[in-house]
Each structure stands twice: as structure tokens, then as C-alpha cells.
Amino acid sequence: MRQMKTAPLRGSRIVGLGHSQPDRVLTNDELSTMVETDDAWITTRTGIKTRRIAGPDDTVTSMATAAARNALADAGVDPASVDLVVVASTTHEDRAPYTAGRVAVQLGMTSGPAPIDINTACSGFEYAMAVADQAIRTGAADTAVVVGADKLSGITDWTDRSTCVLVGDGAGAAVLQATDEPEIGPVSWGSVPHLQDAVRVTGTPARFQQEGRSIYRWAITEAEGHARKVVEAAGLTLDDIAVFAFHQANLRIIEPLVTALGGEDKYVVRDVVESGNTSAASVPLGLSKAWQRGELPEGVPALLFGFGGGFAHAGQVVTTPTRRR
């Protein structure tokens, strides 16, 4: 009996980052004219000052496509060479055609890459990265585009102060390529069964709801341990990590988590302040914006960690890209 053929194991690395956000900026002062709130109330409880809101022509697909295009340009990679596209989103427009397939077509990926849509809400990008990394490791793909994109404004009750002050729209993307030396560590992922309904998008029309206190309690008491497991899975210690990129849910969650992990001297993504909570987009969006500004260190270990709807969590350590020179 013949032995089944398997590809030799290898690794993957990030070679480019990109993002896209709508033009419209919604400030806390503007929100105060829509619901009973003010800038001080929002800032104190969330750290958010502004967020981007989609216009009539902004869709999950258009934002994901723009972010992917920018990431490919950053990497200097021809779209025709991409053989896997993974898009994470809570707000995919349709069940079929899927967003990943639409992105591939709009970017002219004539090779017909494998398209995969993922929905694990706020941890979606980390799940998508794991899928792409594993595909490359096993030889199923050589070049992948991974996107997190969400249009939360379309599922938000703009009369509900507890949720509308949080949300924003946008997309972030990364280009992954095969490499002999892995630069993306093993994923550490899981779920919290008793919090399954703590973050939900249900109803007709669909509306975003959450149990803020339950989420905050879990983030303050449990997230640290899961983040440490991510680092351990990579065979590293927290002293080795140079960048923290956590789900941009709330600055009141990010800051205590940074402190608990001893990260005061590390580069910390705090894009929630100007972009709000963009669900699956939040980690790649924050990373790409820092990369574009020249703030994100090159070629260093970064801890990615997402958590939220489902209630799912996931993370991996990645090496930040290096600039083409």
C-alpha cells in the first residue's frame, strides 16, 4: 500500500500590512447630540475619542479589498501569486458569495485562490491567521492574504448608549508567505461556554448587544492567563515580547492587561482611542496604522490576542515585518 504524500513542514511570516477606514469621523461630542452622553462619560469609561463610520458606499467587502490591496502593495506581492484569502468578519454581507471570494475577484487574483470566510467575532483575525499559517506550514498555500473587516455601524442600535459609543468600522490585512524559519507561532485558542451569549448579534434586523460587566470581569480576571499561554506556546517569555496588540475593545481593558503582563516598556497598540471597537478588524487595523506611521518596531516578536463574541479567544506570537529597502 502506498504511503500518502505529505508536504514537509515549514513556517510562515508576515511580509506586509495594510488597512482601510471610512472617511467619516464620529466624535464623542457628535454622539452627545444623538444619545444622552458626553465626551467625559465616554472617555472615562472606554478611552474612545473618535471612531470611523461607514458611508453609503462603504461595505465589508470594499473595506476588506482596500486593506488587502494596501497590504499587498506594502509587501510588494503580485495579487496573481496569492493562493489563499481568509476574511474574518462578524458582518459579512451574504452567506454566498462569500467575502473572501469577492475580495479575490476585485483584486484580480486570476489564479483562483482558495477563499475562506471566518466568523469568531472579535478574535476573528487571530483565528484567520492560524488557518492561513497552518495552510502554509503544510504546503497547501505559499502566499496568503488575511483580513479582519467589520461594519459594526450597520448592526448597532444608535439609541442604545451602552453599545453605540463603542463601535467603529474598518479593515486591516496582512500578507503571509512561506519561509524556512517560522515567524508565526502556534495558535492558542478556545472559548468560554458560560459567556456564550455575553456578546451577540441577533434578531431581524440584526443588532449588536453585550453584557458589558461580564465581559469586563472576564477580561480583568482571565485574559492575562490566556495571553501568557500564547507566549508559552511560542516557546518564549514575556521578556522576549516587544509589541502588545490586543483586541481594541476598551482602553479600560487594555491598560490593566498590559500592566498585569508587565508591558509598560513595550509598544502597545491603543488604536481604540481613535477607531473605537472594530471587532475582527481591530488588531490588524491597529498594527497597520502603527506600521504606516513608522511606530511599529521591525522584526520583533509581537503578541496578538483577541477575545469577544462567542465567547471565543485566540492569539499567537508573530514577528513584525521588515521594510523593503
Residues designated as active site: 122, 247, 277
Q: Is 317 exposed, middle or buried (0-12, 13-18, 19+ CB in 10 A)?
A: buried
Coil, strand, or helix at residue 21? coil
Is the distance from CB of 160 to CB of 315 less than 8 angstroms?
no
Coil, strand, or helix at residue 113? coil
> How many Cα atoms sit within 13 Å of 300 on the Cβ side?
18
Distance from the first to the final alpha carbon of the chain: 51
At 319, list the grid cell: 514577528
Cα 17 from Cα 286, distance rounded (Å) = 10
What residues contact 60, with CB distance under 8 A and at least 6 apart? 89, 91, 92, 93, 99, 149, 150, 151, 171
Tell me the CA distances in angstroms from 16 to 13, 146, 245, one per residue in order: 9, 11, 16
Cα 234 from Cα 254, distance rounded (Å) = 22
- Name beta bridge partners: 208: 201
At 262, list the grid cell: 508587565
Neighbours of 114 (CB within 10 A): 16
Cα 148 from Cα 310, distance rounded (Å) = 16
In the DSSP assignment, the letter for residue 266 is: S
Using alpha carbons only, how large is the chain's radius of gyration in Å? 19
